[in-house]
Protein backbone atom coordinates (compact mmCIF):
# COMPACT_ATOMS: atom_id res chain seq x y z
CA UNK A 1 0.00 0.00 0.00
CA UNK A 2 2.93 2.36 0.54
CA UNK A 3 3.92 2.23 -3.12
CA UNK A 4 0.33 2.81 -4.22
CA UNK A 5 0.02 5.79 -1.90
CA UNK A 6 3.19 7.37 -3.24
CA UNK A 7 1.94 6.91 -6.80
CA UNK A 8 -1.30 8.63 -5.88
CA UNK A 9 0.60 11.53 -4.34
CA UNK A 10 2.72 11.85 -7.48
CA UNK A 11 -0.32 11.88 -9.78
CA UNK A 12 -2.15 14.34 -7.54
CA UNK A 13 0.81 16.75 -7.42
CA UNK A 14 1.17 16.47 -11.20
CA UNK A 15 -2.54 17.28 -11.54
CA UNK A 16 -2.17 20.40 -9.38
CA UNK A 17 0.84 21.57 -11.39
CA UNK A 18 -1.12 21.10 -14.62
CA UNK A 19 -4.00 23.18 -13.22
CA UNK A 20 -1.67 25.96 -12.13
CA UNK A 21 -0.67 26.57 -15.75
CA UNK A 22 -4.19 26.37 -17.17
CA UNK A 23 -6.71 29.17 -17.64
CA UNK A 24 -10.46 28.60 -17.77
CA UNK A 25 -13.31 30.64 -19.18
CA UNK A 26 -16.16 28.87 -17.40
CA UNK A 27 -17.21 25.92 -15.27
CA UNK A 28 -19.41 24.88 -12.37
CA UNK A 29 -18.45 23.67 -8.93
CA UNK A 30 -18.03 19.92 -8.43
CA UNK A 31 -18.43 20.24 -4.67
CA UNK A 32 -21.85 21.82 -5.07
CA UNK A 33 -23.36 19.81 -7.92
CA UNK A 34 -21.79 16.35 -7.58
CA UNK A 35 -21.05 13.65 -5.01
CA UNK A 36 -18.75 10.64 -4.92
CA UNK A 37 -20.32 7.24 -5.60
CA UNK A 38 -17.35 4.93 -4.93
CA UNK A 39 -13.59 4.88 -4.69
CA UNK A 40 -13.02 6.90 -1.50
CA UNK A 41 -9.91 9.09 -1.89
CA UNK A 42 -9.57 8.05 -5.53
CA UNK A 43 -12.04 10.89 -6.17
CA UNK A 44 -10.16 14.19 -5.75
CA UNK A 45 -11.69 17.68 -6.03
CA UNK A 46 -8.96 20.33 -5.85
CA UNK A 47 -9.13 23.98 -6.87
CA UNK A 48 -12.14 24.91 -4.69
CA UNK A 49 -14.41 22.59 -6.64
CA UNK A 50 -13.37 23.67 -10.13
CA UNK A 51 -11.62 20.41 -11.04
CA UNK A 52 -12.04 16.70 -10.37
CA UNK A 53 -9.92 13.60 -10.94
CA UNK A 54 -10.77 9.91 -10.82
CA UNK A 55 -8.24 7.14 -10.28
CA UNK A 56 -8.20 3.38 -10.77
CA UNK A 57 -5.91 0.83 -9.16
CA UNK A 58 -6.11 -2.95 -8.83
CA UNK A 59 -8.24 -2.60 -5.70
CA UNK A 60 -10.93 -0.23 -6.96
CA UNK A 61 -12.04 2.29 -9.51
CA UNK A 62 -13.93 5.47 -8.67
CA UNK A 63 -16.92 7.53 -9.69
CA UNK A 64 -19.23 10.44 -9.03
CA UNK A 65 -22.78 11.55 -9.84
CA UNK A 66 -24.91 14.66 -9.81
CA UNK A 67 -26.92 15.45 -6.72
CA UNK A 68 -29.92 16.45 -8.81
CA UNK A 69 -32.01 14.53 -11.32
CA UNK A 70 -32.84 16.09 -14.68
CA UNK A 71 -35.60 15.63 -17.24
CA UNK A 72 -34.28 17.02 -20.54
CA UNK A 73 -31.44 19.46 -21.01
CA UNK A 74 -27.86 19.83 -22.13
CA UNK A 75 -24.81 18.48 -20.29
CA UNK A 76 -21.24 19.52 -21.16
CA UNK A 77 -18.13 18.10 -19.50
CA UNK A 78 -14.51 18.73 -20.34
CA UNK A 79 -12.46 15.56 -19.86
CA UNK A 80 -8.87 14.42 -20.28
CA UNK A 81 -8.64 10.64 -20.53
CA UNK A 82 -6.19 8.11 -19.12
CA UNK A 83 -2.86 8.49 -20.91
CA UNK A 84 -0.33 5.86 -21.96
CA UNK A 85 -1.25 2.20 -21.85
CA UNK A 86 -4.93 2.46 -20.90
CA UNK A 87 -5.88 -1.02 -22.12
CA UNK A 88 -8.62 -2.61 -20.03
CA UNK A 89 -9.82 0.68 -18.55
CA UNK A 90 -13.18 2.33 -19.21
CA UNK A 91 -13.95 5.98 -18.50
CA UNK A 92 -17.62 6.92 -18.64
CA UNK A 93 -19.90 9.93 -18.81
CA UNK A 94 -23.60 9.12 -18.91
CA UNK A 95 -27.11 9.96 -17.81
CA UNK A 96 -29.17 7.28 -16.07
CA UNK A 97 -32.48 6.96 -14.28
CA UNK A 98 -33.02 4.56 -11.37
CA UNK A 99 -31.68 1.21 -12.57
CA UNK A 100 -33.43 -0.75 -9.82
CA UNK A 101 -36.73 -0.43 -11.72
CA UNK A 102 -35.56 -2.83 -14.43
CA UNK A 103 -36.89 -0.37 -17.03
CA UNK A 104 -34.38 2.43 -16.74
CA UNK A 105 -33.34 5.02 -19.34
CA UNK A 106 -29.67 5.72 -20.03
CA UNK A 107 -27.55 7.79 -22.43
CA UNK A 108 -23.94 6.63 -22.62
CA UNK A 109 -20.52 7.92 -23.47
CA UNK A 110 -17.94 5.18 -22.74
CA UNK A 111 -14.25 5.59 -23.57
CA UNK A 112 -12.55 2.23 -24.04
CA UNK A 113 -8.82 2.33 -23.39
CA UNK A 114 -6.15 0.80 -25.58
CA UNK A 115 -2.45 -0.02 -25.63
CA UNK A 116 -0.04 2.86 -26.14
CA UNK A 117 -0.15 4.26 -29.66
CA UNK A 118 -3.55 2.76 -30.49
CA UNK A 119 -6.72 4.89 -30.50
CA UNK A 120 -9.42 5.01 -27.88
CA UNK A 121 -12.84 3.68 -28.86
CA UNK A 122 -15.75 6.01 -28.11
CA UNK A 123 -18.76 3.81 -27.37
CA UNK A 124 -22.28 5.31 -27.32
CA UNK A 125 -25.59 3.72 -26.43
CA UNK A 126 -29.20 4.68 -25.76
CA UNK A 127 -31.40 2.77 -23.31
CA UNK A 128 -35.14 3.34 -23.13
CA UNK A 129 -37.43 1.47 -20.73
CA UNK A 130 -34.65 -0.96 -19.92
CA UNK A 131 -33.81 -1.80 -23.53
CA UNK A 132 -30.44 -0.84 -25.00
CA UNK A 133 -28.50 -2.62 -27.76
CA UNK A 134 -28.23 0.60 -29.77
CA UNK A 135 -24.45 0.83 -29.90
CA UNK A 136 -22.45 3.06 -32.18
CA UNK A 137 -18.67 3.25 -31.84
CA UNK A 138 -16.11 5.72 -33.12
CA UNK A 139 -12.45 6.57 -33.16
CA UNK A 140 -11.63 10.22 -32.53
CA UNK A 141 -9.72 12.58 -34.82
CA UNK A 142 -7.46 13.67 -31.95
CA UNK A 143 -5.66 12.16 -28.98
CA UNK A 144 -8.08 12.58 -26.02
CA UNK A 145 -5.26 12.12 -23.51
CA UNK A 146 -3.19 15.16 -24.51
CA UNK A 147 -5.68 17.88 -23.59
CA UNK A 148 -9.20 18.51 -22.36
CA UNK A 149 -12.07 18.15 -24.83
CA UNK A 150 -15.77 18.86 -24.39
CA UNK A 151 -18.22 15.95 -24.45
CA UNK A 152 -21.89 16.91 -24.60
CA UNK A 153 -25.31 15.27 -24.48
CA UNK A 154 -28.37 17.19 -25.68
CA UNK A 155 -31.70 15.66 -24.69
CA UNK A 156 -35.03 17.18 -25.63
CA UNK A 157 -38.44 15.67 -26.44
CA UNK A 158 -37.52 15.38 -30.12
CA UNK A 159 -33.99 13.99 -30.09
CA UNK A 160 -30.86 12.90 -28.26
CA UNK A 161 -27.56 14.18 -29.65
CA UNK A 162 -24.02 13.20 -28.66
CA UNK A 163 -21.36 15.83 -29.44
CA UNK A 164 -17.58 16.10 -29.13
CA UNK A 165 -16.20 19.65 -29.22
CA UNK A 166 -19.55 20.71 -30.77
CA UNK A 167 -19.24 18.11 -33.55
CA UNK A 168 -22.31 15.83 -33.60
CA UNK A 169 -21.36 12.15 -33.36
CA UNK A 170 -24.84 10.61 -33.46
CA UNK A 171 -28.48 11.62 -33.32
CA UNK A 172 -31.25 9.42 -31.90
CA UNK A 173 -34.62 10.87 -32.83
CA UNK A 174 -37.97 10.40 -31.14
CA UNK A 175 -39.84 7.89 -33.28
CA UNK A 176 -42.53 6.86 -30.84
CA UNK A 177 -45.03 7.17 -33.69
CA UNK A 178 -43.28 4.12 -35.19
CA UNK A 179 -43.29 2.16 -31.95
CA UNK A 180 -39.71 3.04 -30.90
CA UNK A 181 -39.49 3.82 -27.15
CA UNK A 182 -37.90 7.18 -26.33
CA UNK A 183 -36.62 8.39 -22.94
CA UNK A 184 -39.02 11.11 -21.81
CA UNK A 185 -40.60 10.23 -18.46
CA UNK A 186 -37.80 9.16 -16.13
CA UNK A 187 -35.52 11.82 -14.63
CA UNK A 188 -31.82 11.00 -14.87
CA UNK A 189 -28.71 11.84 -12.91
CA UNK A 190 -25.31 12.55 -14.45
CA UNK A 191 -22.72 9.85 -13.74
CA UNK A 192 -19.05 9.37 -14.46
CA UNK A 193 -16.66 6.58 -13.51
CA UNK A 194 -13.27 5.03 -14.17
CA UNK A 195 -13.15 1.26 -13.78
CA UNK A 196 -11.51 -1.95 -14.92
CA UNK A 197 -13.26 -3.86 -17.69
CA UNK A 198 -10.42 -5.88 -19.16
CA UNK A 199 -12.75 -8.83 -19.74
CA UNK A 200 -14.22 -6.98 -22.75
CA UNK A 201 -13.04 -3.38 -23.18
CA UNK A 202 -9.88 -3.73 -25.30
CA UNK A 203 -9.86 -5.93 -28.39
CA UNK A 204 -12.73 -7.97 -27.00
CA UNK A 205 -10.91 -8.71 -23.76
CA UNK A 206 -7.76 -10.08 -25.37
CA UNK A 207 -5.62 -7.28 -23.91
CA UNK A 208 -5.63 -7.07 -20.12
CA UNK A 209 -4.96 -4.17 -17.79
CA UNK A 210 -1.27 -3.71 -16.99
CA UNK A 211 -1.38 -2.90 -13.29
CA UNK A 212 2.27 -1.88 -13.25
CA UNK A 213 0.99 1.39 -14.79
CA UNK A 214 -1.49 2.01 -11.99
CA UNK A 215 -2.92 4.24 -10.75
CA UNK A 216 -4.72 5.31 -13.90
CA UNK A 217 -6.27 8.78 -13.80
CA UNK A 218 -8.87 10.77 -15.74
CA UNK A 219 -9.47 14.49 -15.26
CA UNK A 220 -12.54 16.74 -15.39
CA UNK A 221 -13.24 20.46 -15.45
CA UNK A 222 -15.60 23.15 -16.81
CA UNK A 223 -18.90 21.30 -16.69
CA UNK A 224 -22.17 22.93 -17.69
CA UNK A 225 -25.65 21.78 -16.70
CA UNK A 226 -28.41 23.60 -18.58
CA UNK A 227 -31.37 21.38 -17.82
CA UNK A 228 -34.79 20.96 -16.26
CA UNK A 229 -34.68 19.51 -12.78
CA UNK A 230 -37.01 16.61 -12.03
CA UNK A 231 -39.12 18.88 -9.83
CA UNK A 232 -39.82 21.34 -12.67
CA UNK A 233 -41.89 18.80 -14.58
CA UNK A 234 -42.26 17.82 -18.23
CA UNK A 235 -43.54 21.27 -19.28
CA UNK A 236 -40.11 22.76 -18.56
CA UNK A 237 -38.81 21.17 -21.76
CA UNK A 238 -41.15 23.40 -23.79
CA UNK A 239 -40.96 26.61 -21.75
CA UNK A 240 -39.14 29.38 -23.63
CA UNK A 241 -36.45 31.19 -21.70
CA UNK A 242 -34.95 34.63 -22.08
CA UNK A 243 -32.04 34.57 -24.52
CA UNK A 244 -28.84 35.26 -22.64
CA UNK A 245 -25.23 34.63 -23.49
CA UNK A 246 -23.76 31.62 -21.76
CA UNK A 247 -19.97 31.16 -22.09
CA UNK A 248 -20.39 27.46 -21.25
CA UNK A 249 -21.87 26.82 -24.69
CA UNK A 250 -20.16 27.39 -28.02
CA UNK A 251 -20.83 28.16 -31.70
CA UNK A 252 -24.51 28.60 -32.53
CA UNK A 253 -25.77 27.01 -29.30
CA UNK A 254 -24.62 29.70 -26.90
CA UNK A 255 -27.98 30.54 -25.34
CA UNK A 256 -29.38 29.20 -22.13
CA UNK A 257 -32.22 26.85 -23.02
CA UNK A 258 -31.12 26.50 -26.66
CA UNK A 259 -31.26 22.73 -26.16
CA UNK A 260 -35.07 22.89 -26.25
CA UNK A 261 -35.00 23.44 -30.01
CA UNK A 262 -31.52 22.05 -30.72
CA UNK A 263 -31.23 20.18 -34.02
CA UNK A 264 -28.81 19.74 -36.89
CA UNK A 265 -28.18 22.79 -39.03
CA UNK A 266 -26.39 22.62 -42.39
CA UNK A 267 -22.95 22.67 -40.73
CA UNK A 268 -24.01 20.01 -38.24
CA UNK A 269 -25.30 17.71 -40.98
CA UNK A 270 -21.98 18.01 -42.81
CA UNK A 271 -19.99 17.29 -39.65
CA UNK A 272 -22.18 14.32 -38.77
CA UNK A 273 -21.67 12.90 -42.26
CA UNK A 274 -17.89 13.44 -41.93
CA UNK A 275 -17.71 11.72 -38.54
CA UNK A 276 -19.82 8.76 -39.54
CA UNK A 277 -18.02 8.27 -42.85
CA UNK A 278 -14.44 8.49 -41.57
CA UNK A 279 -14.51 7.69 -37.85
CA UNK A 280 -17.43 5.33 -37.16
CA UNK A 281 -16.19 1.78 -36.59
CA UNK A 282 -19.46 0.10 -35.57
CA UNK A 283 -23.15 0.80 -36.17
CA UNK A 284 -25.79 -1.56 -34.87
CA UNK A 285 -28.03 -0.45 -37.73
CA UNK A 286 -25.61 -2.06 -40.19
CA UNK A 287 -24.91 -5.28 -38.30
CA UNK A 288 -26.74 -7.77 -40.51
CA UNK A 289 -25.25 -10.75 -38.66
CA UNK A 290 -26.65 -9.51 -35.37
CA UNK A 291 -30.06 -8.55 -36.80
CA UNK A 292 -30.51 -11.23 -39.42
CA UNK A 293 -34.28 -11.23 -38.85
CA UNK A 294 -34.59 -7.51 -39.48
CA UNK A 295 -33.12 -4.27 -38.20
CA UNK A 296 -34.69 -2.29 -35.33
CA UNK A 297 -37.42 0.10 -36.43
CA UNK A 298 -35.35 3.24 -35.81
CA UNK A 299 -32.69 2.03 -38.25
CA UNK A 300 -35.01 2.61 -41.18
CA UNK A 301 -34.88 6.38 -40.81
CA UNK A 302 -31.83 8.62 -41.24
CA UNK A 303 -30.78 11.50 -39.01
Question: For residue 190, which of 106, 81, 101 has the smallest C-alpha distance?
Answer: 106
Phi, psi of 191 (to 5 degrees): -125, 150
Q: What angle do CA 121, 127, 130 make, to 5 degrees?
A: 135
Are 154 and 255 within 8 A, CB to CB?
Answer: no
Rounded Cα distance, 114 and 201, in Å: 8
DSSP H helical ranges for the chain: 2-20, 30-33, 266-278
Q: Of the listed 106, 118, 166, 176, which one is catalytic? A: 106
Q: Of the listed 110, 118, 176, 298, which one is catalytic? A: 110
Rounded Cα distance, 23 and 295, in Å: 47
Q: What residues are paired with 95 via a beta bridge?
A: 107, 190
Q: Is 110 known to be catalytic? A: yes
Give the three-state DSSP class for 164: strand
Q: Is 106 known to be catalytic? A: yes
Instruction: Tell me how crowded residue 173 is: count the other CB atoms within 10 A of its CB.
Output: 16
Residue 57 CA, chain-centre distance (Å), reads 21
Distances (CA, A) of 71 to 24, 155, 263, 270: 28, 8, 18, 29
Rounded Cα distance, 90 and 77, in Å: 17
Are 88 and 216 within 8 A, CB to CB?
Answer: no
Phi, psi of 19 (to 5 degrees): -65, -35
Q: Catalogue the active-site residues.
A: 106, 110
Amino acid sequence: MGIISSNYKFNYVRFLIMLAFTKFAYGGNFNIDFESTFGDNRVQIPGHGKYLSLSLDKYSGSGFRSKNEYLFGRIDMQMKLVAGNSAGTVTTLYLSSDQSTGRHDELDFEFLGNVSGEPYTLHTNVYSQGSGNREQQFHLWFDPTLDFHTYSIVWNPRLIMFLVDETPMRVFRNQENKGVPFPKNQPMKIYSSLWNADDWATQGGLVKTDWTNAPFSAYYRNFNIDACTAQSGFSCAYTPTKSMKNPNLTSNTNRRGAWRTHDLNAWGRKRLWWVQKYFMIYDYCKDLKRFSQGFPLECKSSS
